[in-house]
Amino acid sequence: MASAQPTFLATRGSALALAQANTVLGLCRAAFPGRSFELKIIKTTGDKLQTASLASSELPKGLFTKEIEEALVRREADLAVHSLKDLPTELPAGLKLGAVLPRADVRDVLVVRGPGSGVPGSSPLDVLPRGATVATSSTRRRAQLLDLRPDLTMTQIRGNVGTRLRKLAEQPELAATVLAAAGLKRLGFTLETDGRLIAPPGGEVPATVRALPLEPEVMLPCVGQAAIGIEVRENDGAAADLCRALNHAETLQCVTAERAFLTGMGGGCQLAVAAYARIVGEQIWLRAVSFLGQKPVRAEMRGHVTDAEQLGRRLAAEVAGR
Q: Bridge partners of 174? A: none
What pLDDT sits at residue 322?
Answer: 82
Residue 114: which domain range? 108-214
pLDDT for 114 beyond 80: no
How high is the pLDDT of residue 228?
A: 99
Question: 47, 78, 86, 194: which is the annotated catalytic residue?
Answer: 86
Residues 130 and 86 in one domain: no
- pLDDT per residue as tens digits for the range 160-216: 898 999 999 999 999 999 999 999 999 999 999 999 999 999 988 988 899 999 999
> Confidence class of residue 4 from pLDDT cuts 50, 70 and 90?
low
Does the residue 89 lie in any domain?
Answer: yes
Q: Check whether residue 290 and residue 320 sit in a common domain.
A: yes
Model-level pTM? Answer: 0.92
Summarize pLDDT for 16-48 with one digit per residue, the tens. Answer: 999 999 999 999 999 999 999 999 999 988 887
CATH number reported for the structural domain that contains residue 79 in this entry: 3.40.190.10
Number of folded domains in the chain? 3
What is the per-residue pLDDT for 276? Answer: 99
Do 35 and 82 lie in one domain? The reply is yes
Domain presence at residue 9: yes
**Residue 253 sits in the same domain as residue 272:** yes
CATH number of the domain residue 299 falls in: 3.30.160.40
Q: Which residues contact 135 (CB under 8 A, 6 or more apart)?
A: 154, 155, 156, 157, 164, 167, 168, 174, 176, 177
Indicate the range of 51-60, 111-120, 144-153 predicted with least confidence: 51-60
DSSP string of 68-112? HHHHHHTTS-SEEEEEGGGS-SSPPTTEEEEEEPPP----EEEEE
Question: Which of 165, 191, 214 delimits the end of a domain?
Answer: 214
Radius of gyration of the CA atoms of the chain, in A: 20
Residue 221 lies in a domain: no
- 3-class SS of residue 10: strand
Check whether residue 64 and residue 84 sit in a common domain: yes
Residue 209 and residue 128 share a domain? yes
For 11-20, 25-34, 46-55, 241-250, which range has the lowest pLDDT when averaged over its residues?
A: 46-55
Shared-domain flag, residues 18 and 88: yes
Q: How many CB atoms lie within 10 A of CB 192?
A: 10
- Per-residue pLDDT reduced to its tens digit, 117-135: 444 447 899 999 999 999 9
Indicate if 86 belongs to the active site.
yes
How far apart are the C-alpha atoms of 8 and 79, rounded to whole Å? 7
